Amino acid sequence: MPEKISPGMQQYLDIKKDYPDAFLLFRMGDFYELFYEDAVNAAQILELTLTSRNKNSENPVPMAGVPHHAVQEYIDKLVDMGFKVAIADQMEDPKKAVGIVKRAVTQVVTPGTMVDASNGNDNNFLVAIDKNAGHFVLAYLDLSTGEFKVTELPDFPTLVGEIASLRAREVVAGYELNEAHRTVLAKQMNILISEQLEIDEKFLTELSKLTKAENQISSKLLTYVNRTQMRDLSHLQEVEHYEIKDFLQMDFATKSALELTANKREGKKHGTLYGLLDQTKTAMGTRMLKAWIDKPLLKRAQIEHRMDIVQIFLDNFFERADLIESLKGVYDMERLASRVSFGKALPVDLIQLKNSLENVPVIKNVLESLNEKSLTELSKNLDPIPELSELINRAIDTAAMRVITDGGIIKAGYNAQLDKYREALENGTSWIAELESKEKQKTGISTLRIDYNRKDGYYFHITQSQLSSVPEHFYRKATLKNSERYGSKELAEIEEVMLEAREKSSVLEYDLFLEVRSEVEKYISRLQDLSKTIATIDSLQAFATIAEKEAYIRPTFNDNQEVNIVAGRHAVVEAIMGAQEYVPNDIILPENTAIQLITGPNMSGKSTYMRQFALIVIMAQIGSFVPAERAELPIFDAIFTRIGASDNLISGESTFMVEMSEANRAIQHATAHSLILFDELGRGTATYDGMALAQAIIEYVHDKIGAKTLFATHYHELTELDKTLPLLTNVHVATLEENGNVTFLHKIAAGPADKSYGIHVAKIAGLPETLLERADLILQKLENQPVPAVELENNDKQLSLFDFEENHSELIAKLKSVNVDNITSREALNILWDLKEML
């Protein structure tokens, strides 16, 4: 006979059935409980005590619980590890419930929908993807800020690159993922995959500015968010279309190689361009700066406009100092607005909002005092929303606690009824004091006092030694070890008035706070617009601050594809090393030079030189000043890199396969307006293979693409290519050799390097002396047998596979005499040995 399931457990099972992919936290009194497999797994992950329900039954149900007041930290931990958590709350007061308490899921928290996550000022983007006739569509939003965007992408690799750039932790699939796509997202990228194949009509977007496919994926994303969050989402902005081709294109490998927003060691901002440039004072400014670095501009007018403002801030030190001071008083208004929309805003949030708004007129005055045309639009968009500031100032007490049910939130004078309740409470307090004094005199009990607690209410506290003096009109309320608690008719009457005033006061305050919060919600759109304006001002003052600190200059742009960087520096390396130690380098690529072939020893600075170029380009195209004495640049449409050796172990790709994949991406997508950086391409395979591929790639870029290219190599034979490729020039990293000791000067000079100094680097690394001597002997022998780069008169010409000298004619005759169709495996092996002997 099957074991009977209790109504409560049946309720749990019914709810769990709808959320099979989530941990279900089931509210029972003061605890959230987990059962069955959820309990077993959660106990291990969260280090909870695993118990069981119905311990004496044949099949006890595993059970684990967490206190309701500490549930958030457990939710955060589960979601941080990539799990979903469904929260089932009690929907009625257990004291008033008839039968079992009604429960329902009130929110599903997922990695992409966390709004209280510990990710600091960073965005937490939830991404949705769909297919459309061979193309892909991608929408993303951040629930904590309301940002909502959508785009169409040509292929799956581009889609993956955009997801990686957004650093998404959860992807909502709007179509049935095939196994290959699922493996890439879930296993290689460690992303939680959710599904939303249908659209709820209530969340259907039909914006004319979007394509049908973009409207569809936006609707699926909205459906998923509303299905999981189950609350008002009025802070979500109208979905905005964007094109990746409208920005400087960089795939995730390029951003990672250049360490733009995350370093390779820890994935943190320290040691990145973002970490260096982040002189912002507001959370909104920090997020905007990061977004700008991820997507540099292509339109010269927009870039110049940003630089005009940076120049103004740089030229006006005192006004910038006032501006910075005002920005420090601005809280994260985007996230405060979302908390209001979510119904999570506390009194302290509204006070922060008011304080932020009070700084806006000061910021506006600073901009207007500069009287610059470039600042007109920013100044105009600084909307201080005075009516909202006035409402919060009039309604919310600055000393309000974080709890919204215990009173002390609303200011005196805001509501007449509340003031009456408070007056009754104040009068009651004086009545209590008068009654205490009167009874002391009448009874002669000097230690008598009136106290209060939730259980006994107001009572006379009388010690054991004074019990003989207790008057007849007192009645006992409670007995303690060394004292008694008494009541009286007069005290009960005062208590009734005070408790009624206190209870009604708290309820009224709570209702008034909800009304104020609801009124604030009407201003969300204006708050979001204001946040964007402040973020822009903050990001641009950050550019001015770092430009002044590090002595950056304003770059200029040209239309003839000329690069002329004088005394350029790698911004991040210089900041770490110090300007005194860093060796600057010129990067000169005139219109008639497309490729620089860079030779020189390891550790000499080739990679830094290449990255320096890319960072100067990116800094210029986000509107920042750059580390150089002079910088004249074209506007680049894309940057492609292959820097540093790396395997893709999860997908089974070797270093060489990764090299070729990244090289192919550049070859397939680069234009004459792109920048290509190839460092040691071809080293992942055999020497001749690598050299052949490197030469073929250089020739292809030279003849077919014409992109500005820096190509660092150890294949010294390739330096001969400047004789056949007119747009290629040789440069090398200079060294100083004295008395057998080599010093790397970290300075780029014209012409090819004469040595690689690899053995010298090995010496620095501490390899044994005998090993180094042997390597030197081998090197001398090899250097007497140079292998020249192949010169091809015609790219279609086939290379001879057997280029034998005449003394190999006997071997060829032997090969021709073999009848391969009529020999055994042993005979074939013997013939192979004979051929080897002949060689």
- Residues 621 and 398: their CA atoms lie apart, in Å, by 44
Taking each helix axis as running N to C, give the angle between helix 300-315 and helix 317-327, from 0 to 180 degrees, rounded to the nearest 10: 100
Q: Establish whether 604 is an annotated binding residue.
A: yes
CA atoms within 13 A on the CB side of 390: 3
Residue 138 contacts residue 159 (beta carbons within 8 Å):
yes
- Residues 340 and 519: their CA atoms lie apart, in Å, by 10
Q: Establish whether 605 is an annotated binding residue.
A: yes
Q: Establish whether 144 is an annotated binding residue.
A: no
Residue 718 contacts residue 582 (beta carbons within 8 Å):
no
The three-class DSSP label of residue 187 is: helix
- Residues 618 and 622: their CA atoms lie apart, in Å, by 6
Residue 51 contacts residue 61 (beta carbons within 8 Å):
no
Taking each continuous run of H as one helix and of E as one strand, the counts in the chain are: 26, 26
Neighbours of 750 (CB within 10 A): 10
Element (H, E) at 305: helix 300-315
Q: Establish whether 788 is an annotated binding residue.
A: no
Torsion of CA 526, 529, 532, 538, to 10 degrees: -60
Q: Establish whether 607 is an annotated binding residue.
A: yes
Residue 635 contacts residue 604 (beta carbons within 8 Å):
no
Neighbours of 714 (CB within 10 A): 20
Burial class, 267, CB count within 10 angstroms (exposed 0-12 / middle 13-18 / buried 19+):
exposed
- Residues 316 and 370: their CA atoms lie apart, in Å, by 8
- Residues 584 and 611: their CA atoms lie apart, in Å, by 13
Element (H, E) at 531: helix 524-550
Provide the strand spans (E) within 454-549. 457-463, 475-479, 483-487
Which residues are paired to 626 by β-bridges? 553
Taking each helix axis as running N to C, give the angle between helix 524-550 and helix 347-370, from 0 to 180 degrees, rounded to the nearest 10: 60
Cβ-based neighbours of 141, under 8 Å, separated by 6 or more: 125, 126, 147, 148, 149, 221, 225, 236
The three-class DSSP label of residue 316 is: coil
Q: Which two tokens stand for residue 700?
A: 């292809």
Q: Establish whether 124 is an annotated binding residue.
A: no
Q: Establish whether 218 is an annotated binding residue.
A: no
Q: Establish whether 504 is an annotated binding residue.
A: no
Neighbours of 54 (CB within 10 A): 15
Which residue ranges are tagged as binding site for ATP? 600-607
Which residue ranges are tagged as binding site? 600-607
